[in-house]
């Protein structure tokens, strides 16, 4: 019995070694290999679908909870102890103020840095050091930027927990995103266009101003919009800067205390009554609509001007 | 004879001034990122030094009780509970995100028809753009109740729920970075394998993944560094009870969770509790810094040359 | 006897360790077409780019010797490279119009050099487009994107763009290599017209083209100027074995 088994096993081995010639056997082996391929194809597809399913659940659940709270009152009321009197007005205006300061700052600083690195810097230790800094800053947790903001802007510069302190913190946080996107876009400007400009006697800055920047602008704007959408959704750095207080007014100037949408949502999440959870969901709907709109604009810009 | 034109003539002087001024201005902007790094390090170092004047360093890194916000004698500054909490969440996130992220990357890079890819890629981008506060809300309103219906002894605030959601959050990052790495494997290497009769799965596992391994591994490291620094999800879902444990069902606190809790409380700038924020911030910064450097090292050191 | 426009004296150019141009000396006649030929990598394009200092921007390039254009050493410290390039225009291998309107492409140079007057600009643009034999094709759509033109039209637009800064010398770096035969013929015809007002130096990989359009031809090989002579003579009775080998197609 066992001898027979061994024999047949040997036989199989022999068959495998000569499987190229043995058609029936090799085709069953191919069948098995293809079977594995199909199985894993399904598994990889399933893994990809996890993200989509989660997104669908998340959106559905949030809309279900928050939808009925999206009334005009929600946009006109300030925060309150009573859910029925609570609204998002201070948070929306705070976010607008913050973006109003952060947007021009990040754009100017980010594009300038990118132009310097792509068009002016020589390949020396300084430019390598700056690049190393930028790639490391991109990986620093946002809450650490919050600590920097708290120490530098709130305390040392004495700005307090103001719109300005929060905006400056956010600017530093999202700057690496704008720099990286702008550099990529500037590097993609064909060198023959720059050469044409130089060959007509244009100076370096004229070439940058009239050829490089117009060509790179869509990419730069896309990067800036994505960076700002990150800034709108960030919570932790502003908590550190001290934006979590009871704010029932819109900012009057750069030095006003303020709250932003994610922080108001965070405060509602922390309150015990179920209605506050629904308010949080309503706030999230508003926040997500703003972010999706910004993302859509960025994607449109990218597709429209993609060369 | 025609008079030759002069190439020596000076351009308008304001233009020369502009040309000379602009690179300087741009350099100052570029140096801002250096100042930011220096600012972060100095800020953390200064207050952390003050912290270690009062708390022995050894007690900090070996202590298993963290009660930084208590008053007086009850204050204990053993950071291990915060580190164990952070690691618990990070490891859990890795268990969720690594297989799913890599699977999606393989699907998108190797299997997906172009049309499907063009639908799924933007969805992943949207997922990557969802604020962490939204994920936090998702964790306590959906994931935690769902888990508690299976595991009745699960605490309402627990590491498990937080780590699953942090994992979901970093899936797009792993998927997109790994996909980039795999798509940069040249076509002719794949075709050589197909030419020998390999199935798609064999090409993926034996050719593409090994060739892109440095990029894939560095995407894991970057994503986990992101998980370590993640704040809102863990603050909302994992609780604020620093416990030295590796039991995912328990309520814990991460380093970031403590920083938020402390910043929201009423503490004075001179207090030891306040300085503890910086010590924990420094610890967090070092963790993520080392991981980011590691990721850069891996992707540079083991970069495949095609 | 024709006048000299450019005189090159003992020019050496190094890319780092690589000695790319070796002791080049040659005089280029005013209002004539001078062709530079030779196999790829022989230094003909590099030489062309020394004439408007386009090599300056490449890191690690070192240049020795003198180039005089209208008796001014263009590598002297006092020369403003922007003004030099205004006097020595250039047309590139592939048409490279800016992604702007046809009008703005031609107006680019004059605007850079400070011309703001709308009327003068309009006149200059018409003159330049006529000069490049493309006016009739584009006069009704000056506001259209230049990138919508055909390849041959784009290249003539690029010539018009170069003419608009009113140069005296026009450098052309294989200007027809990306074009079809009909467009090529148009450009060659145009070059013949342009030489009455401009000094033209053209790099070409096409010997027939050099024979057709140039008055003098220079043959480069591995950074050396092997032979420089009247075009008919260089092609009918080359003095050097290497020139003969090249023009009879034995290498390159």
Handedness of CA A126, A131, A132, A134 (dihedral sign): positive
Helical spans, DSSP H, in A200-260 = 204-207, 213-233, 236-241
How deeply is A70 buried, as exposed, middle or buried, from its count of CB atoms within 10 A (0-12, 13-18, 19+)?
middle
Answer with the residue of higher pLDDT: C22 or B73.
Answer: C22
Query: Between C59, C99, C165, which is nearest A200 by CB?
Result: C165
The answer to whether the CB of B239 falls within 8 A of the CB of B253 is: yes
Specify whether A144 is located in the same domain as A199.
yes
Whether B186 maps to a domain, the answer reads: yes
**Binary contact (C80, B8; C-beta < 8 A):** yes
Do the domain assignments include residue A5? no
Verify whether the Cβ–Cβ distance B111 to A230 is below 8 Å.
Answer: no
Distance from CA of B1 to the nearest CA of C (A): 10
Assign A236 a pLDDT band (cuts: 50, 70, 90): very high
Q: Does A118 touch chain B (CB under 8 A)?
A: no
Q: Are residue A39 and residue A161 in the same domain, yes or no?
A: no
B126 lies in some domain: yes
Q: Are residues A123 and A153 in the same domain?
A: yes
In a mutational test of the A interface, the residue from B7, B229, B232 whose CB has the highest number of chain A CBs within 10 Å is B232
Say if CB A84 and CB A249 are below 8 A apart: no
Q: Is there a domain that residue B229 lies in?
A: yes
Substitution target in A64, A139, A155 with the highest count of B β-carbons within 10 Å is: A139
Interface contact C182, partner A, CB < 8 A: no
**pLDDT value at residue B122:** 86
A interface mutation test: which of C54, C109, C159 has the most A CBs within 10 A?
C109
- In angstroms, rounded to a whole number, what is the distance separating the alpha carbons of residues A235 and A269? 13
B189 in contact with A, Cβ within 8 Å: no
In a domain, A259, yes or no: yes
Is the pLDDT confidence value at A16 over 50?
no
Query: B22: which chain A residues are within 8 Å (Cβ-Cβ)?
Result: 205
Query: What chain B residue is nearest to C70 in terms of C-alpha separation?
Result: B4
Our CA-based measurement puts residue B180 at a distance from the nearest CA of chain C, in whole angstroms, of 30
Report whether A196 contacts C91 (CB < 8 A). no
Higher pLDDT, A21 or A276: A276
pLDDT in tens, C141-180: 999 999 999 999 999 999 999 999 999 999 999 999 888 9
Predicted local distance difference test score (pLDDT) of residue A8:
44
Q: Identify which of A122, A123, A202 has the shortest CB distance to residue C112.
A: A202
Residue C60, pLDDT > 90, answer no
Q: Nearest by CB to C84, which of B7, B10, B12?
A: B7
Pairing state of beta strands C199-203 and C33-37?
parallel
The count of other CB atoms within 10 Å of the CB of residue B67 is: 14
> Which residue reads 């780590």 in tokens?
B163
CB proximity A64 to B under 8 Å: no
Output phi, psi for C19, to 5 deg.
-85, 95
Q: Determine contact: B20 vs chain A, CB below 8 A.
A: no
Contact A199 C54 (CB under 8 A): yes
Residue C200 pLDDT > 50, yes or no?
Answer: yes
Q: Confidence band (pLDDT; 50, 70, 90) for A78?
A: confident
Query: Which DSSP string do the residues of C50-108 spell out, in sequence order?
Result: HTTTGGGGSTTEEEEEEEEETTEETTSTTS-HHHHHHHEEEE-SS----SSBHHHHHHH
Confidence of residue A306 (pLDDT cuts 50, 70, 90): low
Which chain A residues touch C101 with a CB distance below 8 Å? none
> Where a domain ends, among A68, A103, A130?
A68
Region of residue B222 (phi > 0: left; psi between -120 and 50: alpha; otherwise: beta): alpha
CA distance B200 to chain A (A): 7
* Residue B273 covered by a domain: yes
Q: Which residues pair with C61 in a beta bridge?
A: C15
Looking up residue A188, the CATH number of its domain turns out to be 1.10.3720.10
User: Would you call A252 helix, strand, or coil by DSSP?
Assistant: coil
In a domain, A9, yes or no: no
In B215-254, the residues whose Cβ lies within 8 Å of chain C are: none
The minimum CA-CA distance between A208 and chain C, rounded to whole Å, is 12
Q: Do B5 and C82 touch (CB under 8 A)?
A: no
Rg over alpha carbons for chain A, rounded to the nearest Å, is 29
- Which residues of chain B, if any, have pLDDT below 50? 1-3
> Is residue C27 over pLDDT 90?
yes
The predicted-structure confidence for A116-172, as pLDDT tens digits, reads as follows 999 998 888 898 999 989 999 999 999 999 999 999 999 999 998 999 999 999 999
CA distance C84 to A197: 13
The string of DSSP letters for C110-136 reads HHHTT---HHHHHHHHHHHHHHTT-HH
The residue count of chain A comes to 307
B36 to A133: CB separation less than 8 angstroms, yes or no: yes
Whether C96 contacts chain A with CB within 8 A: yes
Other beta carbons within 10 angstroms of residue C244's beta carbon come to 16
pTM: 0.88
- What is the rounded CA–CA span in Å between residue C35 and residue C199? 11
Does A60 lie in the same domain as A209?
A: no
- Domain hosting residue B137, numbered range: 74-301
Q: Are B90 and B228 in contact (CB under 8 A)?
A: yes
Residues A191 and A261 in one domain: yes
DSSP secondary structure, chain B, as one string:
-PPPPPS-PPPPHHHHHHHHHHHHHHHHHHHHHHHHHHHHHHHHHHHHHHHHHHS-HHHHHH---B-TTS-GGG--B--HHHHHHHHHHHHHHHHHHHHHHHHHHHIIIIIS-HHHHHHHHHHHHHHHHS-HHHHHHHIIIIIHHHHHHH-TT--SS-HHHHHHHHHHHHHHHHHHHHHHHHHTS-HHHHHHHHHTT--HHHHIIIIIHHHTHHHHHHHHHHHHHHHHH--HHHHHHT-S-------TTS----HHHHHHHHHHS---TTSHHHHHHHHHHHHHHHHHHHHHHHHHHHHHHTPPP-
Residues A118 and A217 in one domain: yes
Is the minimum CB–CB distance between B7 and chain C shorter than 8 Å? yes
- B158 within a domain of the structure (yes/no): yes
Is residue C135 within 8 A of residue C156, CB to CB? The reply is no
At residue A84, the pLDDT reads 82
- Residue B129 in contact with residue B122, Cβ under 8 Å? no
Residues B226, A244: Cα–Cα separation, whole Å:
24
Which structural domains are found in chain C, ordered by start? 4-247 (3.40.50.300)
- The predicted structure's pLDDT at residue B151: 92
Nearest Cα of chain B lies from the Cα of C87 at a distance, in angstroms, of: 8
- How many structural domains compose chain B? 1
pLDDT at A173: 97
% chain C with pLDDT above 90? 81
**CA C238 from centre of chain:** 24
Residue of A143, A272, A279 for testing the chain B interface, max B β-carbons within 10 Å: A143
**B5 reaches C (C-beta below 8 A):** yes
**Mean pLDDT throughout A200-219?**
94
Nearest to A192 among C83, C92, C162 (CB): C92
- Higher local confidence (pLDDT), A250 or A234: A234
pLDDT, position A23: 55
Contacts of A among chains (3+ CB pairs under 8 A): B, C
Q: Which of C59, C61, C80, C85 to mutate to test the interface with A (most CBs of A within 10 A)?
A: C85
Q: Shortest CB distance from A201 goes to which of C59, C85, C96?
A: C85
Q: What is the mean pLDDT of residues A216-243?
A: 93
**CA C207 distance to own-chain centroid:** 16
A contacts of C82 (beta carbons < 8 Å): 201-203
Closest to B172 (Cα-Cα) out of C230, C9, A50:
A50
pLDDT band at A18 (very low <50, low <70, confident <90, very high): very low
Size of interface B-C (CB pairs under 8 A): 29
pLDDT at A96: 96
Q: What is the pLDDT of residue B5?
A: 57
Residues in A closer than 8 angstroms to C92, CB to CB, are: 192, 195-196, 199
Please identify which residue in the block is written with the tokens 């959408």: A229
If one compares C62 and A304, the residue with the highest pLDDT of the two is C62
Residue A30's pLDDT is what?
A: 83
Q: Which residues of A touch B136 (CB under 8 A)?
A: 266, 269
C44-53 confidence digits (pLDDT tens): 999 999 999 9
- A4 occurs within a structural domain: no
Q: Please tell me which of the candidates C3, C72, C114 has its beta carbon nearest to residue B7.
A: C72
The domain of A33 spans 14-68
The pLDDT tens digits for A85-100 are: 888 999 999 999 999 9
Query: What's the mean per-residue pLDDT of chain C?
Result: 92
Residue A15 has pLDDT above 60, yes or no: no
Is B46 a member of any domain?
no
Q: How many domains does chain A have?
A: 2
Restricting to B residues 24-63, those with a Cβ less than 8 Å away from any Cβ of C are none
| The pLDDT of residue A12 | 45
Task: Pick B199's closest partner by Cβ from A33, A58, A65.
Answer: A33
pLDDT of residue A25: 57
What subunits make at least 3 CB pairs under 8 angstroms with C? A, B
ipTM score here?
A: 0.92
Q: Do C30 and C12 meet the contact criterion of CB atoms below 8 Å apart? A: no
Q: Which of C74, C78, C82 sits opposite B11 (nearest CB)?
A: C82
For residue B132, tell me if it sits in a domain. Answer: yes
Q: What is the mean pLDDT of residues C23-47?
A: 93
Is B208 inside any structural domain? yes
DSSP secondary-structure letter at A162? B
Q: What is the pLDDT of residues C68-117, one digit of tens each?
A: 998 889 998 888 888 899 999 999 999 999 999 999 999 999 999 988 99
Cross-strand pairs, B83: none
């Amino acid at each position: 019995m066992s001898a027979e088994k061994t024999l047949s096993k040997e036989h199989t081995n022999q068959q495998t070694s000569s499987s190229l010639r043995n058609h029936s056997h090799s085709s069953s082996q191919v069948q098995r290999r293809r079977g594995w391929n199909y199985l894993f194809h399904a598994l990889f597809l399933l893994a990809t679908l996890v993200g989509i399913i989660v997104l669908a659940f998340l959106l559905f659940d949030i809309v279900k909870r928050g939808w009925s709270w999206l009334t005009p009152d929600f946009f006109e009321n300030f925060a309150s102890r009573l859910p029925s009197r609570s609204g998002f007005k201070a948070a929306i205006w705070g976010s607008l103020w913050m973006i109003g300061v952060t947007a021009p700052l990040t754009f100017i600083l980010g594009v300038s840095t990118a132009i310097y690195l792509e068009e002016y810097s020589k390949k020396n230790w300084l430019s390598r050091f700056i690049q190393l800094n930028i790639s490391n800053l991109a990986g620093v947790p946002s809450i650490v930027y919050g600590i920097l903001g708290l120490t530098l802007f709130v305390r040392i510069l004495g700005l307090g927990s103001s719109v300005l302190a929060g905006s400056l913190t956010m600017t530093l946080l999202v700057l690496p995103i704008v720099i990286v996107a702008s550099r990529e876009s500037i590097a993609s400007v064909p060198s023959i266009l720059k050469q044409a400009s130089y060959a007509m006697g244009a100076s370096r800055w004229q070439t940058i101003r009239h050829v490089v920047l117009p060509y790179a602008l869509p990419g730069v704007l896309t990067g800036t919009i994505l960076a700002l959408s990150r800034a709108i959704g960030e919570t932790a750095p502003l908590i550190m800067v001290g934006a979590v207080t009871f704010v029932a007014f819109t900012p009057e100037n750069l030095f006003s205390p303020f709250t932003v949408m994610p922080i108001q949502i965070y405060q509602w999440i922390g309150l015990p009554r179920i209605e506050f959870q629904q308010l949080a969901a309503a706030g999230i709907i508003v926040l997500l609509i703003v972010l999706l709109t910004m993302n859509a604009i960025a994607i449109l810009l990218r597709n429209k001007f993609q060369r | 004879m025609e008079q030759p034109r002069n190439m020596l003539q000076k351009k308008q002087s304001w233009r020369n001034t502009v040309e000379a001024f602009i690179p300087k201005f741009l350099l100052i902007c570029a140096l801002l990122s250096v100042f930011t790094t220096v600012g972060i390090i100095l800020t953390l170092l200064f207050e952390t030094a003050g912290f270690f004047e009062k708390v022995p360093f050894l007690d900090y890194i070996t202590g298993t009780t963290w009660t930084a916000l208590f008053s007086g004698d009850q204050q204990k500054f053993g950071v291990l509970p915060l580190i164990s909490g952070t690691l618990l969440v990070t490891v859990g996130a890795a268990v969720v995100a690594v297989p799913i992220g890599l699977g999606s990357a393989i699907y998108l890079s190797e299997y997906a028809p172009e049309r499907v890819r063009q639908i799924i890629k933007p969805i992943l981008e949207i997922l990557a753009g969802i604020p962490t506060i939204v994920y936090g809300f998702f964790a306590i309103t959906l994931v935690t109740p769902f888990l508690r219906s299976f595991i009745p002894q699960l605490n309402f605030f627990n590491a498990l729920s937080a780590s699953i959601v942090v994992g979901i959050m970093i899936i797009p990052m792993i998927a997109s970075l790994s996909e980039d790495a795999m798509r940069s494997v040249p076509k002719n290497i794949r075709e050589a394998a197909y030419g020998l009769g390999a199935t798609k799965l064999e090409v993926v596992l034996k050719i593409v993944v090994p060739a892109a391994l440095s990029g894939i591994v560095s995407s894991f490291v970057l994503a986990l560094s992101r998980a370590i620094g993640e704040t809102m999800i863990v603050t909302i879902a994992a609780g604020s009870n620093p416990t030295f444990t590796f039991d995912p069902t328990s309520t814990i606190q991460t380093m970031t969770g403590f920083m938020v809790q402390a910043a929201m409380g009423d503490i004075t700038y001179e207090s030891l509790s306040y300085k503890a924020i910086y010590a924990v911030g420094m610890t967090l910064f070092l963790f993520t810094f080392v991981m980011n450097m590691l990721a850069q090292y891996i992707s540079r050191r083991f970069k495949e040359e095609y | 006897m024709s006048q000299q426009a450019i005189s090159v004296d003992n020019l050496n150019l190094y890319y780092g360790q690589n000695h790319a141009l070796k002791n080049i000396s040659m005089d280029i006649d005013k209002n004539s077409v001078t062709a530079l030929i030779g196999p790829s990598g022989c230094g003909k394009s590099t030489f062309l780019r020394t004439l408007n200092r386009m090599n300056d921007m490449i890191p690690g390039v070192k240049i020795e010797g003198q180039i005089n254009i209208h008796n001014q050493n263009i590598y002297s410290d006092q020369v403003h490279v922007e003004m030099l390039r205004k006097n020595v225009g250039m047309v590139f291998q592939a048409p490279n119009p800016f992604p702007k309107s046809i009008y703005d492409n031609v107006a680019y140079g004059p605007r850079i050099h400070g011309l703001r007057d709308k009327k003068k600009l309009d006149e200059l643009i018409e003159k330049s487009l006529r000069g490049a034999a493309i006016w009739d094709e584009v006069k009704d759509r000056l506001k259209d994107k230049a990138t919508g033109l055909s390849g041959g039209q784009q290249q003539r637009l690029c010539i018009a763009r170069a003419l608009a800064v009113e140069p005296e010398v026009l450098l052309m770096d294989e200007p027809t290599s990306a074009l079809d035969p009909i467009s090529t013929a148009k450009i060659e015809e145009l070059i013949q017209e342009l030489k009455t007002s401009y000094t033209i130096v053209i790099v070409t990989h096409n010997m027939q083209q050099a024979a057709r359009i140039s008055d003098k031809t220079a043959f480069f090989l591995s950074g050396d100027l092997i032979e420089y002579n009247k075009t008919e003579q260089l092609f009918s009775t080359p003095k050097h074995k290497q020139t003969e080998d090249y023009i009879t197609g034995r290498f390159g």
